[in-house]
């Protein structure tokens, strides 16, 4: 049985564990062995086998007493922006190399309470800033220097970002599921690039306590798994109110998203924004998306033409607001309280400058500089304030669209995953986020699920967006699609 464990989804593995057909220790050992075998992907930044097996033994004891949680013994890996007591947390940055938190992030604790066993911490773009997972500043397990994460479908291509370690690990079956964070598409885009399912819930639905901040008004924790059912199980555990720790947490009871699965799609109105299907969308991606929408129609849904007229403005708005918030959030890393401190300096100012210059990577420095500029005197009104106004108009566009449809569908990215090192122009990289940024700016839930392949045999993902707190509707739609197709079951060769 153990040789097939990695082929099981979260629900199937949980059933095997509850039925005592396999132990939590056996499951943990199996996935740890796979992580060792496939270190070439650069997916893991931290692994501690003793810590993992201690958690697994504790879950086996609970299962034996009939006291295990719903996910008792199910292995999971966490993106390295969520702090953990048992593993180092670096945000993939030299600035936090070796840092160990005295507490667990709320979502880490909630998943542990449900019975999940942590396999380790996953690689990502530094401080979650990037769309390819090429900006990591920390050496992955098995390497002596920082490396980009690799896509298991083609190791010469990126897995997406910033949650590239999460998508790569799930696609390669190194973990049944993983956590991720989504600021402007960092769960949905890598899920699409790696052929897995990923969901970002409504802003405030999952606690940000213990998540290392990039842009506080946009950052949101979420889940990646093989299927919508897997994501529903993980999301049910990690979402819920945390108002004592997180001022942005929504005081709304937790939901069991699996209860929404299985409902028929008859009458579901799928909005098709004309702005998502114009120039710039590759023909191979368009073909896969069109075929998926036709499949949805077979399941009873119908297409409705809609417009999101300010879609193009989401790119400049996001790349004003998120760097501004990053500039503020990352000011705490000064070499005094915690984080990297330069070895040699002449005075306090010199220490600040050298510590930050040495600790931060190029992309992080770029965004700090942009953010500091737009917040500076004389430019705040011209840039930051105007961007906030347009953000509200983008949110209004969605509310108008939802009077005509139930969910909105479109591509996750304009192309399939590009080659590692192929995109060197930052502006070009930023423009590729045009399909995922609008939902993030509006605080809406979004999901990506695999719908086929495009150029070079690389996966293509379909993005679904719903109104606030309608994660169940997204998950049910994706689940119905996956019951009728097998794209989510396909595994890269060699894994």
Residues classed as catalytic: 79, 162, 186
Q: Which residues pair with 178 in a beta bridge?
A: 77, 224
Name the residue among 411, 479, 493, 408 with its Cα closest to residue 444: 408
Rounded to 5°, angle at Cα 466 from 461 and 468: 135
The SS3 assignment for 378 reads coil
CB 442 within 8 A of CB 465: no
CB 232 within 8 A of CB 15: no
Helix (H) or strand (E) holding 344: none
Helix (H) or strand (E) holding 33: helix 24-37
Helix (H) or strand (E) holding 362: helix 362-375
CB 129 within 8 A of CB 364: yes
Buried b (16+ CB within 10 A) or exposed e, 341-350: bbeeeeeeee
Q: Which residues pair with 304 in a beta bridge?
A: 271
DSSP string, 86-129: SS---TT-GGGTT---SS--HHHHHHHHTT-EEEEEE--SGGG-
Locate 93 and state its tokens: 């940055």
The SS3 assignment for 399 reads helix
Rg of the chain, C-alpha, whole Å = 21
Helix (H) or strand (E) holding 169: helix 164-171
Instruction: Count CA atoms closer than 13 A to 22's CA, side-chain side.
Output: 24
């Amino acid at each position: 049985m153990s040789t097939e464990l990695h082929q099981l989804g979260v629900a199937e593995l949980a059933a095997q564990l509850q039925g005592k057909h396999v132990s939590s220790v056996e499951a943990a050992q199996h996935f740890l062995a796979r992580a060792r075998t496939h270190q070439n992907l650069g997916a893991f930044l931290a692994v501690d086998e003793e810590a993992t097996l201690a958690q697994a033994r504790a879950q086996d004891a609970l299962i034996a007493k009939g006291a295990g949680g719903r996910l008792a013994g199910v292995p999971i890996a966490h993106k390295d922006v969520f702090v953990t007591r048992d593993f180092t947390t670096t945000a993939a940055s030299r600035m936090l190399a070796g840092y160990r938190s005295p507490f667990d992030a709320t979502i880490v604790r909630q998943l542990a309470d449900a019975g999940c066993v942590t396999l380790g911490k996953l690689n990502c773009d530094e401080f979650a800033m990037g769309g390819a997972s090429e900006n990591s500043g920390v050496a992955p397990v098995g390497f002596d220097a920082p490396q980009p994460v690799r896509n298991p479908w083609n190791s010469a291509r990126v897995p997406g970002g910033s949650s590239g370690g999460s998508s790569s690990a799930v696609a390669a079956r190194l973990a049944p599921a993983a956590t991720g964070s989504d600021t402007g598409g960092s769960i949905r885009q890598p899920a699409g690039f790696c052929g897995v399912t990923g969901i970002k819930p409504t802003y405030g639905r999952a606690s940000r306590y213990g998540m290392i901040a990039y842009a506080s008004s946009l950052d949101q924790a979420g889940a990646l798994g093989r299927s919508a059912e897997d994501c529903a199980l993980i999301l049910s555990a990690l979402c819920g109110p945390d108002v004592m720790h997180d001022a942005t947490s929504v005081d709304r009871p937790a939901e069991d998203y699996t209860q929404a699965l299985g409902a028929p799609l008859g009458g579901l109105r799928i909005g098709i924004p004309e702005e998502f299907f114009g120039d710039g969308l590759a023909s191979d991606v368009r073909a896969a998306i069109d075929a998926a929408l036709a499949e949805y129609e077979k399941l009873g849904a119908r297409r409705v033409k809609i417009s999101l007229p300010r879609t193009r403005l989401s790119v400049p708005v996001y790349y004003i607001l998120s760097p501004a918030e990053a500039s503020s959030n990352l000011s705490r890393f000064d070499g005094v309280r915690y984080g990297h401190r330069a070895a040699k300096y002449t005075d306090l100012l010199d220490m600040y400058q050298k510590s930050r210059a040495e600790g931060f990577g190029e992309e992080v420095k770029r965004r700090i500089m942009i953010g500091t500029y737009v917040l500076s005197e004389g430019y705040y009104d011209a840039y930051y304030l105007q961007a906030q106004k347009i953000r509200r108009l983008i949110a209004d566009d969605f509310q108008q669209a939802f009077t005509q449809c139930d969910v909105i569908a479109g591509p996750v990215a304009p192309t399939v995953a590009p080659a590692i090192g192929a995109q060197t122009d930052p502006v070009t990289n930023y423009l590729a986020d045009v399909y995922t940024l609008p939902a993030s700016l509006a605080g809406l839930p979004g999901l990506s699920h695999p719908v086929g392949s495009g150029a070079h045999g690389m996966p293509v993902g379909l993005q679904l967006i719903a109104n606030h707190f309608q994660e169940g509707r997204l998950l049910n739609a994706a689940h119905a699609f996956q019951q009728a197709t097998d794209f989510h079951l396909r595994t890269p060769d060699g894994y």
